Structure 1
């Protein structure tokens, strides 16, 4: 199978490493450590990633090269699933609709910025999904959009991914930098790994609700 990615890119390098269909370390062999990258591979590119015994899209194991226990990734097959590629992700039409609804406001700092600098992000992080999501229909209502998505810049989207991945690994929920507040629960993750309710109360799940609840306390 020909490499799908442009030469001299992170994904091009990682494909070359993974095409032997073996588990590879994200610390010393693969260049991308972000869960979002692998989500794009599966949902937008139709690339088949393998799962571990627990159904995760990764495996934590000892790497005999760097001698650390790290997250490993593996291709299940070199075949591209065109059906998955065509039906997954957020269409350009829906992305424009979401950005218009939020008036191009970035959720981290509540600032309106250029549309091309914003990414549509799922409130419930991909790192906790139990499988592929259902189709995001262009006819989604405003309420459905607000329940499922926020807008972030690329850098803040990656920051969220790091917090969420750390939460999956350690059971400690993320914070707005320097403010240790959760409007529901505390820093400890509650419930099943794939239960979206465990995210409620965290800034990164719903920055708007988080600020609303914090202001109630501040203004008492």
Structure 2
């Protein structure tokens, strides 16, 4: 149980692939103009992470070390192709919105890194859980970044949710304030770099405060003076 707690902490915060490892930044900064796009890409990445981690863990004893990286990439590409075909079949509008960034999940260093660093050395159950936590941590950063950019750029939240969740999700769309002209800095990739920098800075600040509180002040030793009577 302690191992699962550690994997949860590592994936969601301590070793978050987006905030700490700074992996997968290309789709993270390009697609997260809305919450819907961010959530769609995040869930796709999570599914690929789990599938590839489980598969790599199951075949780890049969793959020669010399060719393990090409094998891992082939496994990841297989799951990415499956996810893309499912999107085209059932969520075509979302697939069009995400565009080339679904196939680019194959080159996401976070997925290859977890396959090499963890899944290839651990049983499939722990590897599956590691994939869930790492994917969930990545997805949460995507959604947070997408929410901030969507609110700053268009004054809306959950715009286009029906692309991912169906027609019933049109009621989830919120207009927080009217925007006559969209704030292009927030919508375009330069705005994503700026917002991402603030998010990373906030995490570093929280970590610094936690470490400062964890350090106990040194105990002062008081000496008693003994006087002879």
TM-score (norm 2): 0.25
- Which has the larger share of helix? 2
TM-score (norm 1): 0.26
- Which has the larger share of strand? 1
Q: Which structure exhibits the higher relative contact order, with contacts defined as CA atoms closer than 8 Å and separated by 6 or more residues?
A: 2
Q: Which has the larger radius of gyration?
A: 2
